[in-house]
Structure 1
């Protein structure tokens, strides 16, 4: 009788696991390179799950713009608890969805040069948009955006409608050229090899020899030195300055795991996570005191230019129309 009961209970438990042992799932929408085998996602997931007693689930789309578009489409029916990977150029549009909750983190932990005070969006890394070149093939790089635009150098960049780097270039051109931005786009179009949907496609084509320059980040050379043991890939420093990108995470009001979400946001700005991100997502840490490989001290340190997030939100649609019209001519 006891053996029969034991066998019956064993079968029941195998088919119906005890719900008390089930782990809560925290779903995070992010971009595909973040969750790549070499990206930050897998390492952050392993580190966070050691203590959260949860299942951290990343759902990847192509880019930060795609994260925002998906959020707009799904609205309050979204299955995401958090979004990770939009930037400060998209934050006001994301805020306008009215889906963003307060992050509940102490922003005084962040580096003072970020001057970050927002209560809804939390930075987890940052960098500067830059054009990358191979110094073995290009002895004298352009020293300004205007020099690059007015050259005949072959370039590849990303679509500002679908890519945050592409949007960064749009802001860069507008910041430097102002009312003459359309003419600059027309001139750039004459020696643009292609405009890709996302960053990875563009960068892969560049590495295969498809262009003299590719739009990426000032931190890209660090990746090549550390991962490839190659130092020929450099970022061109432009005299007008560079547009910065601050990447952000945010908790959604519709989350079924708000406390777990805040726990993850808190984890993102710990020394442990901040030490992982620069050598996997190849961006800069948002807190002070993170020990980085020596190559990071050799990266270009640009002057920051650009626009406030609210101005970007107000004018982004018009600037995209300007780009589409001019770049197609």
Structure 2
């Protein structure tokens, strides 16, 4: 039986010309996280934009509950996976992803990218970026902490919500942030944070919703999160607290699976994703900074966001070698 989506696409593509057999329409299957593929996320716009220029193809996004979930799914499926590529991994798990041997080099010459510390990765292409930060509402928090130590010193009824580093990339980003900022003192910082942690949620949306509902004073999110409230809600009361010790960045990435039989099409999609046309879709759908300079096309809400003066970092190799131990350190300290 013909796949209905393929058949419909073939009919549309064939109007006024020789019909293309449904089986001949190439389908690019992309694993990503649910927010990226959602109707309000960047997925639909990227799908429409690429299908308009690919010469007759269909883009299908398959969503998991998180970017970590997409990697785990491909690891389980191995070379039998239907996915041609993954969009939405980040630099904290890129080293682990690369070590699986499941990804192929993209073969693209990427120039003019504006990600923190530049970009020269042969396997993954950057999608967007921001720094992790705690966000707060100026209506309820008039003097936000300016460091982890100031946060720890606040009364215990000042509460934060964070995400589990085993299931959510922001949670892992927080582990890396604390370790990069405090090194051997990381366990001490976690112990100090423990009384302030209202809960540790499985994903970002759950904790952010708790914050919006007034259950917590601050939520782990991004320096770009206030842009959503400014643009979508005309609300400028949500701010990101900037910490004196610096902030850890998240760059989301995309990569082609070596098992895919559509390597060329997947590479073309990556080129589109990193182009000005593709990047113009990202800011006000995924609420992150684009990886190219959009100039006047970037919504002014982003240009006005305060950004950290110091960016902290680890190499992929350092993260891959130590992240499990650093996660254990965090979990032990807050239990």
TM-score (norm 1): 0.92
Moved beyond 3 Å, runs of 4+: 16-19
Matches within 5 A, 1:73-112: 73-111=76-114
Distance of 2:322 and 2:283 partners within structure 1 = 31
Q: Is the 8 Å Cα contact of residues 88 and 127 (structure 2) preserved in structure 1?
A: no
For 2:279, the equivalent position in structure 1 comes to 274
Q: Is the 8 Å Cα contact of residues 148 and 189 (structure 2) preserved in structure 1?
A: no
- CA deviations over 1:187-209 (Å, ceiling 9, x no partner): 21211111001111111111111
Root-mean-square deviation (CA, aligned residues, Å) is 1.8
Q: Is the 8 Å Cα contact of residues 37 and 63 (structure 2) preserved in structure 1?
A: yes
For 1:31, the equivalent position in structure 2 comes to 33
Residue 315, structure 1, aligned to residue 322, structure 2? yes
For 1:259, the equivalent position in structure 2 comes to 264
Gaps of 5+ in 2: 1-6, 12-18
For 2:253, the equivalent position in structure 1 comes to 248
**How far off is 1:288 after superposition?**
2.1
Q: Which residue of 117, 125, 131 corresponds with 2:128?
A: 125
For 2:73, the equivalent position in structure 1 comes to 70
Residue 298, structure 1, aligned to residue 298, structure 2? no
Distance of 2:123 and 2:141 partners within structure 1 = 43
Distance of 2:50 and 2:216 partners within structure 1 = 40
Distance of 1:318 and 1:113 partners within structure 2 = 26
Q: Is the 8 Å Cα contact of residues 267 and 273 (structure 1) preserved in structure 2?
A: yes
Q: Is the 8 Å Cα contact of residues 115 and 251 (structure 2) preserved in structure 1?
A: no
| Worse-matched range after superposition: 153-162 or 43-52 | 43-52
Distance of 1:305 and 1:48 partners within structure 2 = 35
Matches within 5 A, 1:34-49: 34-49=36-51
Q: Is the 8 Å Cα contact of residues 182 and 326 (structure 1) preserved in structure 2?
A: yes
| Worse-matched range after superposition: 213-222 or 70-79 | 70-79
**How far off is 1:111 after superposition?**
2.4
Q: Is the 8 Å Cα contact of residues 30 and 61 (structure 1) preserved in structure 2?
A: yes
Distance of 1:228 and 1:88 partners within structure 2 = 30
**How far off is 1:277 after superposition?**
0.1
Alignment CA distance shift 1:113-1:87 (3 Å): closer
- Residue 104 of structure 2 aligns to a residue whose secondary structure is coil
**How far off is 1:115 after superposition?**
1.6
**How far off is 1:21 after superposition?**
4.5
- CA deviations over 1:226-264 (Å, ceiling 9, x no partner): 011111000001111100001100001101211110110
- Residue 44 of structure 2 aligns to a residue whose secondary structure is helix
Q: Which residue of 284, 287, 312 corresponds with 2:289?
A: 284
Distance of 1:112 and 1:122 partners within structure 2 = 11
Gaps of 5+ in 1: 1-12
Alignment CA distance shift 1:176-1:113 (3 Å): closer
Distance of 1:46 and 1:145 partners within structure 2 = 43
Q: Is the 8 Å Cα contact of residues 181 and 245 (structure 2) preserved in structure 1?
A: yes
- CA deviations over 1:124-165 (Å, ceiling 9, x no partner): 111100100000111111111221133232000100011100
Residue 325, structure 1, aligned to residue 328, structure 2? no
**How far off is 1:321 after superposition?**
1.2
For 1:7, the equivalent position in structure 2 comes to none
TM-score (norm 2): 0.90
